[in-house]
Amino acid sequence: MPDFEVLAGVDQGLYLIFFLLTLLPALQIRTLVHRATGGPMTNSARWILCLTGLALLVVLGQWGSTWHLYESFGWPYIKDKALGFLPLSLFPAFVAALVSVPRLWRLSVPLVPAKGMSGSDAAEEKTRRHEASAPEMIVPIQALSLGAFLAATLQFILPSVTLQKEMLMMAWGVLLAGSSALWIWQSWQQQRHSRSGPMHRPHLIVRFLQGTFVLLFLTACSLAGLNSAREASLLPERMSMTNHTVESKAMQASSGGHAQHAAAVTVTRPVSVTELTGPQTGAPDRRFTLTAQKAKILLPSGKVVEAWTYNGRYPGPELRAKQGELIEVVLENKDISEGVTIHWHGLNVPNAEDGVAGATQDAVLPGEKHVYRFVAEQSGTFWYHSHQQSSVQVKKGLLGALVIEPAAQTKPSSPVLDLTLVHHKLGSGGGITLNGDDGLLKQKVLPGTSVRLRLINADSFPAKVQLQGASFQVAAIDGNEIHEPNLIANQALLLAAGGRYDVTLTMPNASVFLAPSKTDSRHGLLLSPDGTTEVPDLHPDLPTFDPASYGSPQPLPFDLDTRFDRDYRLVFDVQFGFYDGKLDGLWTINGKVFPHTPMLMAKEGDLVKMTFINRSYMDHPMHLHGHHMLVLSRNGAPTTGSPWWTDTLNVAPGETYEVAFRADNPGLWMDHCHNLTHAAMGMTMHLLYEGVTSPFQIGHQTRNQPE
């Protein structure tokens, strides 16, 4: 399959090239009438004809690249181009080719002068000058440039035009109104210019003043538009996460050859998220206290960095418990003035314990505390982090590992090493670390030891790691055990931002090296039987492990043929625009950013299907709180291996995933990109159960800023 980023980049580049190629002839063609009807007019016509011909060839290139995208990635990746951008350039190009090009061709043929200025020569000159100012020749070229400008603008500023039909209609309105105005203006100009004799352009000063006026007018309009867009982007001072855009019906999509339907809205007693708690009585089986505080951290490299920590440690202390145990965690805030929370990433806790500021609780300010109580229903590898200003606080170090061991474990017959490795890039210049170590972690391990490496990617970008020196199994993904995992080797593991892999191996009588980089052997984990520091060779071009076909199949609770109660289609794009008053690149869901992103509605017991379509240029690790998603297909191909359950799915550029889950955990749940910078710029939505309310608010005038 072609590289989506390359192909989509070429396609976008063609829109810019097309606009530039049409701009020059559009500016030059109106000056033809001022050229002498001999060589100067002929040469200018040829030049304009050449540029117009090149522009028309680019239109064909646009159609070619669009068709290539369709062939490689499918209709969802070209829908906006085929229905939105391309017609804005195709229709004017068709008119220009049929109407303007023949007239330009006639003007490009030299006028053969007679020996003396005869009446026929004078008539021919008048005819040529009349045609050089004809709106039939000039306006289609100008309209072509206007259409190219509108298409390029929509492509970069608003790529999801078919999801925002009013903007597409506005673009067509501008094209039609602009073309009409140009036609009226040029008709008047033709009447003024239709006379024989030498023609002179207006004086330079006049043209300068005209150009200055047009430039000032366009600048004023642009500034007014930009200011209006900036004001419209400002986030509310206060708002509830339960009442932003609801688009459940509009987002229902038909797929799989049978009709989809929205579950009927039922009237239920309103339930506040504060009622959806874990057990509030009884002695906990495990009790932890985590104190959020600022600290200076000395890294093994000798670098000292400012960090925000739990209990003064980076990462925070590893929390371990057993499945079925009642866990109580007391969060205290010592000196983080912005407030903190704790979210249990991947662990399906009751909604009130989810730790999202403004959704399930208020942020905990300095001097305050908050108690989380929940039963660990799952086993596996998870992690915890602050969900208050998470794009800032996680980067600064407010995170740690959470391991839930199976309730019943048989005593192993051989030595066991169970090691958790947190991959993270610390802010303030700390760089990439493993368990807070920015160098080479070393551990002596006896040959024959059963090793379980719990890999956690706490960074905002995918981590591609490789394990050299031993064959291994991927035993679990996001805390979900793989059924009959295969023994593999020489494959790179791509961990989504926020994702986890459990890797198991038997320690050989040689060194084993886990590297977070495909070329850097100075950082990572080195296991060796004798404590040596000899690092196995790294391979820069290993194939990537594919969870879609790994392990052995098992019966599924639902599949692609299931009739789902809710079916949501979510398209990821990138566009330029304002968010909360700041101009930036915006990562959108269905053309919107929070709080205008869609609300995913469900009622308890619903089967919910989501389709993720990534038309942007970056990975989007989609993290659904409170639930695990079953991956049904990738790029149209059903998954074939062990059931692939995940809570953080990395959707790479050009990828399409179908996932589903049972709505069995009532509440208000975030569903967002775990590139936390993307989430902070609005790539956030929510799953809301019918009848659930929240007393908490977010906004600049509240203490709560979850992203």
Domain assignment present for residue 698? The answer is no
pLDDT range class, residue 193, cuts 50, 70, 90 = low
Between CA 80 and CA 86 the distance in angstroms is: 9
**pLDDT at residue 1, as a whole number:** 56
Domain assignment present for residue 213? The answer is no
Residues 311, 317, 323: CA angle, nearest 5 degrees: 130
**pLDDT at residue 199, as a whole number:** 54
Q: List pLDDT tens digits, range 263-301.
A: 344 446 799 999 999 999 999 999 999 999 999 999 988
**pLDDT at residue 263, as a whole number:** 38
Enumerate long-range contacts of 258-265, CB under 8 Å, 24 or more apart.
258/563, 260/564, 260/567, 261/565, 262/565, 262/566, 263/565, 263/566, 263/602, 263/603, 263/606, 265/690
Residues 561 and 506 in one domain: no
State the chain's mean pLDDT as an integer.
Answer: 88
Residues 337 and 366: beta-carbon distance below 8 Å: yes
The average pLDDT across 117-146 equals 78
Between CA 443 and CA 522 the distance in angstroms is: 15
pTM: 0.89
Query: With 0-12 CB in 10 A as exposed, 13-18 as middle and 19+ as buried, what is 692?
Result: buried
pLDDT range class, residue 220, cuts 50, 70, 90 = confident
The average pLDDT across 324-352 equals 97
Contacts of 26 (CB under 8 A, 6+ apart): 141, 142, 144, 145, 146
Residues 290 and 389 in one domain: yes
Question: Dihedral (C-alpha) 429, 433, 435, 436: value to the nearest 10 degrees?
Answer: -30
- Comparison of pLDDT for 349 and 89, the residue scoring more: 349
Domain assignment present for residue 120? The answer is yes
**pLDDT at residue 519, as a whole number:** 62
- Say which range, 105-119, 178-192, 294-308, 627-641, has the weakest mean pLDDT: 105-119
**pLDDT at residue 260, as a whole number:** 34
pLDDT range class, residue 228, cuts 50, 70, 90 = confident
The average pLDDT across 213-222 equals 76
Domain assignment present for residue 702? The answer is no
- Say which range, 1-5, 79-83, 277-281, 562-566, has the weakest mean pLDDT: 1-5
Residues 127 and 11 in one domain: yes
**pLDDT at residue 362, as a whole number:** 96
Residues 492 and 580 in one domain: no
**pLDDT at residue 428, as a whole number:** 73
Last residue of a domain, one of 545, 570, 594: 545
Which secondary structure element, helix H or strand E, spans residue 630, and what is its range? Answer: strand 629-634
The average pLDDT across 437-458 equals 94
Report residue 487 as tokens: 């023994």
Residues 482 and 570 in one domain: no
Between CA 609 and CA 607 the distance in angstroms is: 7
Residues 493 and 459 in one domain: yes
The average pLDDT across 670-689 equals 95
Residue 259 has pLDDT above 70, yes or no: no
DSSP three-state, residue 313: strand
Residue 208 has pLDDT above 80, yes or no: no
Q: List pLDDT tens digits, range 390-407.
A: 999 999 999 999 999 999
**pLDDT at residue 121, as a whole number:** 60
Domain assignment present for residue 404? The answer is yes
The average pLDDT across 136-156 equals 90
DSSP three-state, residue 595: coil
Between CA 509 and CA 515 the distance in angstroms is: 19
Last residue of a domain, one of 489, 517, 545: 545
**pLDDT at residue 85, as a whole number:** 86
Report residue 4 as tokens: 């989506």
pLDDT range class, residue 452, cuts 50, 70, 90 = very high
**Which stretches of 498-589 are assigned E, i.e. beta strand?**
500-506, 512-515, 524-528, 566-579, 582-589
Name, of 24-28, 291-295, 529-533, 581-585, the range with top average pLDDT: 291-295
Last residue of a domain, one of 138, 168, 196: 196
Total domains in the fold of the chain: 4
Domain assignment present for residue 61? The answer is yes
Report residue 539 as tokens: 């391979």
Between CA 257 and CA 278 the distance in angstroms is: 41
Residue 254 has pLDDT above 50, yes or no: no
Q: List pLDDT tens digits, range 7-22.
A: 988 888 999 999 999 9
**pLDDT at residue 532, as a whole number:** 77
Residue 31 has pLDDT above 90, yes or no: no
The average pLDDT across 505-523 equals 84
**pLDDT at residue 215, as a whole number:** 77
Residues 564 and 485 in one domain: no
Name, of 157-161, 435-439, 656-660, 697-701, the range with top average pLDDT: 656-660
Domain assignment present for residue 210? The answer is no
- Comparison of pLDDT for 42 and 211, the residue scoring more: 42
Q: What percent of the chain is predicted at pLDDT more than 70?
A: 91
Give the range of the structural domain holding residue 449, as residue numbers without chain letter: 410-545
Residues 499 and 570 in one domain: no
Between CA 475 and CA 505 the distance in angstroms is: 10
Residues 522 and 615 in one domain: no
pLDDT range class, residue 250, cuts 50, 70, 90 = very low
Residue 116 has pLDDT above 90, yes or no: no
**In whole angstroms, how far apart are CA 317 and each of 312, 330, 387, 428, 575?**
9, 13, 18, 21, 40
- Comparison of pLDDT for 354 and 413, the residue scoring more: 354
Question: Dihedral (C-alpha) 683, 689, 694, 696: value to the nearest 10 degrees?
Answer: -10
Residue 247 has pLDDT above 60, yes or no: no
pLDDT range class, residue 232, cuts 50, 70, 90 = confident
Domain assignment present for residue 229? The answer is no
**pLDDT at residue 202, as a whole number:** 65
Between CA 554 and CA 630 the distance in angstroms is: 12
Residues 479 and 457 in one domain: yes
Residues 423 and 381 in one domain: no
Specify the CATH number for the domain of residue 253: 2.60.40.420
Residues 288 and 397 in one domain: yes
